[in-house]
Amino acid sequence: MTNILAIADKEIKGYFASPIAYIVIGFSAILYGWFFINLLYYFDRISMQAGGGFGGPQSVNVNEQLISPLFLNVSVILLFTLPLVTMRTYSEEKRSGTIELLLTSPLTDLQIVIGKFLGGLTLYAAMLAVTLVHMGFLFAFGNPEWRPVLSGYLGLLLMGGCFLSLGLFISSLTRNQIVAGMVTFAVFLLFWVINWISTFMGPTTQNVLNYLSITEHLNDFTRGVVDTKHLVYYLSFIAFSLFLTVRAVDSERWRG
């Protein structure tokens, strides 16, 4: 455990010593703020309509009409920012030769992988922490339910974990961080749009594609539902990606 923390600690310091952490947090804060304002105006309008009795929705719910779509929008931000977080984790170590230090230290491959994953997850959590400010405004001036907010954050954390673990795996395959970043972005995009085609497919294919989509599983979390089905999906996705990363590092050893 101390070994894992040592690696995670090193990763976090590495993020904040380079511009990456600031770019990722700043960029996502701006985008998130933009989404927030947009949805706030939209929510403002529909609630006025509902209140004015112009045939709008019968009732408005800040959780369903504002917070839930806001959380779903976060997946767009993750698509662009998380490849930046993971692209250098392994490839940079390989390129600069520091991987030799890690692999000749009394650490297991799994400890290194988990440490790196936790480091990325911490940066991602810091990124999410910025959104608490917006949430604070909603709680100050509105009356949202806190349970769906909490489950929404849990969902976001898990979804980000999936992206991070996948990015970590891709980074472990190359020593070129640009390649790692591009491939990670492409694969994230694929997992994001994989169910777009599902409406044209038969029921079985439809179900499979919907199940594979990383973002599809977020819906229930943002509505306050913590379903084991989704938990299993996210956790097994993370575990499998981390397992693949360990195998990739190990096979690299054999090939030299």
Task: Select from 3-11, 72-80, 128-136, 188-196 the region that touches another protein (CB under 8 A).
Answer: 3-11
Smallest distance, another protein to C-beta of residue 22, A: 13
The pattern of x and - marking residues 12 through 41 that bind another protein according to CB under 8 A reads: -xx--xx-----------------------
From candidates 45, 48, 100, 129, binder to another protein by CB under 8 A:
100
The Cα 250–Cα 184 span in angstroms is 21
Task: Select from 90-98, 118-126, 142-150, 202-210 the region that touches another protein (CB under 8 A).
Answer: 90-98
Q: Which residues contact 202 (CB under 8 A, 6 or more apart)?
A: none
Task: Select from 40-48, 162-170, 205-213, 248-256 the region that touches another protein (CB under 8 A).
Answer: 248-256
Smallest distance, another protein to C-beta of residue 105, A: 5
Q: How many CB atoms lie within 10 A of CB 146?
A: 11
Q: Which is nearer to another protein, 72 or 249 (CB)?
A: 249
Q: Does residue 251 touch another protein according to CB under 8 A?
A: no
Smallest distance, another protein to C-beta of residue 18, A: 6
Q: Does residue 53 touch another protein according to CB under 8 A?
A: no
